[in-house]
Chain A
Amino acid sequence: MGFYVTQFMSGLAQAATLFLVASGLSIIFGVTRIVNFAHGSFYMLGAYMAYTVSDVVGGFAGFWGGIVAAALAAGVIGVVMEMVLLRRLYRSPELFQLLATFGVVLVIQDLALTIWGPEDLLGPRAPGLEGRVRILGQAFPQYDVFLIVLGPVVLALLLLLFKWTRWGTLVRAATQDREMTGALGVNERRLFTSVLFVGCALAGLGGALQVPREAVNLQMDVSMVVEAFVVVVVGGMGSLMGAFLAALLIGQLQAFGILIFPQITLVLVFLVMAVVLVVRPYGLLGKPPAAARGAAHAPEAPLRPAGLPAKLFGVAVLAVLLLLPVVAGQYALVVLTETLVLVLFAASLHFMMGPGGMVSFGHAAYFGLGAYAAGLLTKHMDGGMLAGLVTAPVLGGLGALLFGWFCVRLSGVYLAMLTLAFAQIVWSVAFQWTAVTGGDNGILGVWPAPWASAKWVYYYLTLAVVTGAVLMLRRAIFAPFGYAMRAGRDSPLRSEAIGMDVRRLQWLAFTAAGAMAGLAGGLYAYAKGSVFPTFLSVPASVDALVMVLMGGVQTIAGPLVGAAVFHGLETEVVRYTDFWRLILGGIIILLVLAFPKGIAGAADAWFGSGRSAEGRA
C-alpha cells in the first residue's frame, strides 16, 4: 500500500514540473499563436544554468539562488528570441515561426553541448530538503513534497496574475483579438515580449527544479517539449486549469504506467491523448477555438497553374537530373536518390498541409509504414522489390485511412497533436514488437532487385517514381478535388453549405498523403538497404515539416525546393563539422529571416508579381 502511495506522490511531483513547463507553453501559444518548439530547450537551459550556479556558488544560496537565476535567465533568453527572431515573423505564414523555433532548438543543443559537454551532470540534493519523510512505512523525498506543494501554488499565482492584473487582462484580450488590442493603444510588441519572458521563465523554472531529481542531459529538451505539448493539448489550449489537470493525469500515467503496463509505457501517454482528443476534441477544459481575430494573416493567394517559364524550368531541372549520373560519383548518386525520396515525402506532407490545411506532426508514421512494408515483405515473405514498392503505398495509405478518420474530426494544433500521437504509437510498435520488426536493430538486407542494384539504375527508378508521384499530386491539386480541398480549408462552413462533405474530402486527402509518404518510405528502404524505427520517429516527422515550411507551405514547388535544400544542407554540414546542429539551426534561422514566406514563396513573389501585373493590365 505504502509503495503505491509514494508512487502516486512521485507522480504528483513530476506533474508539478510538467505543469510549470506546459503552462508557459500554453501562455505563449495563446497570445502569440506561436507553437514554440524551443520550449523544451528553455527547460533544458534552466536545468543546466541552475546546475552551474549551484556548482559555482555552492550551498544553500547557490542552489536556491540558482533556481531563481536560471528561471530569470531563461526568461531573458526568451525575450532575446522574441526580439531578434519571432518579432519579424508575426506576419509570416502560420507555422513559419515553428520552423524558426526549430532552428533555435538546434542552436541551443549545440551551444549546450559546447558549454556543458556531453556527459550527464548530477546536481546536488536540495539544501534544507535533503531528507526523506516516511509515508506508510515508505521513505519519500522531502524535495518531492516541496514540488507537490509548489504546483498548486504556481497555478494559483498564475490565475491571480491573469485575473487581477492589468497585464493579465491585456494578455487575455490579446489572446482573443490582437489587432483590436493594438488599436486600443496597447503596445502588442511589448506585451508579446513580456509573455515570452513569463512563458520561458516558467520553462526554465521547471528545468531548474528538476536538477535534484534527475541528471541534467542534452536529451531533456525534445522529450520535454513533446510531453508539454501533450499536457497542453490534453488540458485544452489556453486553459491553465486544464493544463494543471492534464499534468496530474500524465504524471500519474508515468508513475503507474511503468508498474502496470511496462510493455507500452512508451506510448501510454500518447494513447491517452488520442482517447481524450477523440472524446473531447478540444481537450479536457478547452473550448472550440473562437477564430482568433486579427491574426494578421492575409488570405492564402490562389495557387496558379505553372506558366510556360515555370514548365520550361521544371523540364530543365528534370533534364539535369537525368544527365547527372553521367558525371556524379557513387556517393553523390546515393545522396541524390535520398533527396528525391525526401522530395516525395515532403510533397506528400505538403499536399495535406498546404491545399488540405491539415498540419501533421507525425507524417513520418506513413513514411515508416511504407518502409516497414518493404522491410517486412523482404524479411518474412521473401517478397521482391516491386512487390515491396506496391505494398508500401498501400500500407501507408491504410494507416492514414485508419488514423485519418480520427484526425479529420479535429483541426489546427489539436489535429497536429493527434497525428503525433498516432505516429508515436506506430513508432513504439515498431520499436517494441521485436519478434516481427526486429525492434531497435531494425530490418537489414532490404536490397533492390538485382536488375536495380546498381546505384545509377536505382537512381533512375527513384527519379521516375518520384516524378510520376509528384506530378500526380500536382494534378490532384488542380483537379476539382484540389479545388474542393482548398475551399474546405478556407471556408469550411460555406463549403458544407454548398453540399461538400469537407470531412470526407480531408479524410481522402489525408489518406492520399499517407499513401504517397508510404511510397517514399518504400523507396527509402531499398535505397538504404535497411529499415529502422527512427524512420517513423518524431525527428523524422519534424524533418518533413521543416522541409515543407522551408520551401513555403502555399507554393507547390515549395516542398521540392525545401527537401532539396534541407537534405543537401544536412548532408553537407554533417560532413564538414561536428557542430552541424548549430550551423543547420543558424541557416534555418537566417533563411526564415531572409525569406519570411519560404524560399519558393519568395521566388514566386519575385517572378510572380511581374507576371500578374501584366495579367491585370
Chain B
Amino acid sequence: MTSPLLTVNGLNSFYGRAHILADVDLQVGAGEVVALMGRNGAGKSTTFRSIMGLVEQRRGALSFGGADISTAEPFEIARLGLGYVPEDRRIFTELTVMENLEVGRQPARAGSPTWTPERLFDLFPNLAEMRDRPGGRMSGGEQQMLTIARTLMGNPRMILLDEPSEGLAPRIVEMMANAIVALKSQGLTVMLCEQNLHFAALVSDRAYVIEKGRIRYQGTMAALQADDEVRRAYLTM
C-alpha cells in the first residue's frame, strides 16, 4: 500500500450520550477495495457516516487525499471526491432516474474516471430502460444500482458502499459484485461494509473487522477467510 487515500485515526463517535465508535483507525490506499466487516449494530454504518461528516458528535483525525476532513461538511467531503452510498439507498423517490443522477452530478476530476449517464447505463443496463421512471417505482435491486450510479455522477476518487448486497436477489448480488470489480479496474477506490463474507471475499483485497465500535482485526481478505477463530468471534451468528 502506497500513501493512503483515506486515513482515519482515533475516530470516536456518539449519538447523544451513547458512545458508538471507540478509537477506530482505518487506512485505505488508492485503488484498493477494502471491506469493513461486522455484525448488525457493530458500528459499520456509523463509521461511514462519521467519515462523511454526517454524525454530529465525532472526534478524531480524518484525512482524504491529503486534505484534513475532520471538521469538514458532508458536501465539502463529497466534493473532495469521496462518494457515499448509504445502506438504505435513499433514492429521491419523487425524482426520475435521470433527475436522481443530476443531483449527484459534479464537475470532472483529474485522476478519477469521469461518468456520464450513458456510461453508467453501460455499467447498469437495467437503468437505461427507465430513465424517466420515478425512483419510488423501482425495485430494490434497481434502486441499489441507481444509488451507486448517482454517487458515481460525482466522479469520485473513492466510494463508501454501505452493505451493497443487503436484501437483494442472488442474481442482483452477482451483478453488484461484477460492477464493483469493474469499478476497481477503472481505478476507483472502494470501501464497503458487509455482513456477507462471501460477497466481500469476491471483491475485496483487505478487510477490517469491527465489533462494538472497535476494530478487532485487520488483514488481507484471504487471511480473514482462513482465520476461523476471528470469524466465529465477530462475524458468524
User: Chain A residues in contact with chain B, CB under 8 A?
Assistant: 91, 166, 169-170, 172-173, 175-177, 179-188, 290, 293, 296, 298-299, 301, 612, 616
Contacts and interface: CB of A to CB of B under 8 A. Distances in A.
29 contacts: A166-B102, A169-B95, A169-B99, A169-B102, A169-B103, A170-B103, A172-B92, A172-B99, A173-B103, A176-B93, A177-B90, A180-B92, A181-B103, A182-B74, A182-B75, A183-B52, A183-B54, A183-B74, A183-B86, A184-B75, A184-B151, A290-B93, A293-B90, A296-B56, A298-B15, A298-B16, A298-B56, A612-B17, A616-B17
A177 B54 contact: no
Contacts of A301: 16
Interface in B1-49: 15-17
B104 interface: yes
Contact of B94 (A172, A186, A187, A612): A172
B78 A183 contact: yes
A616 B15 CA distance: 15
A242 to B, nearest CB: 15
Nearest to B106: A185
B154 interface: yes
B94 A176 contact: yes
B228 interface: no
A172 B95 contact: yes
A247 B106 CA distance: 38
A257 B81 CA distance: 59
B58 interface: no
B135 to A, nearest CB: 9
B73 interface: yes
Interface string B87-130: 00010111100011011111000000000000000000000000
Given A173-B92, A179-B54, A290-B93, A186 B103 contact: yes
B150 interface: yes
Interface residues of B, number: 28
A296 B56 CA distance: 9
B92 A177 contact: yes
A214 B100 CA distance: 45
Interface of B: 15-17, 52, 54, 56, 73-75, 78-79, 84, 86, 90, 92-95, 99-100, 102-106, 150-151, 154
Given A169-B95, A169-B103, 14 more contacts: A166-B105, A172-B92, A173-B92, A173-B95, A176-B92, A176-B93, A177-B90, A179-B74, A183-B84, A184-B84, A184-B151, A185-B154, A290-B93, A616-B17
A566 to B, nearest CB: 29
A612 B18 CA distance: 12
A89 to B, nearest CB: 15
B16 A184 contact: no
Contacts of B151: 184
Contact of A185 (B75, B86, B93): B75
Contacts of A172: 92, 94-95, 99
B8 to A, nearest CB: 17
Contacts of A169: 95, 99, 102-103
A179 B103 CA distance: 13
A182 B79 CA distance: 10
Contacts of B93: 176, 290
A173 B104 CA distance: 10
A185 B92 contact: no
A188 B75 contact: yes
B53 to A, nearest CB: 8
A51 B228 CA distance: 80
Nearest to A191: B75
A91 B56 contact: yes
A299 B15 CA distance: 10
Contacts of B74: 179, 182-183
Nearest to A179: B54
A184 B94 contact: no
A186 B100 CA distance: 13
Pick from A185, A187, A296, A299 the residue with the most CB of B within 10 Å.
A185
A185 B104 contact: yes
Nearest to A287: B94
A180 B86 contact: yes
B221 to A, nearest CB: 27
B154 A184 contact: yes
A184 B95 contact: no
A177 B89 CA distance: 11
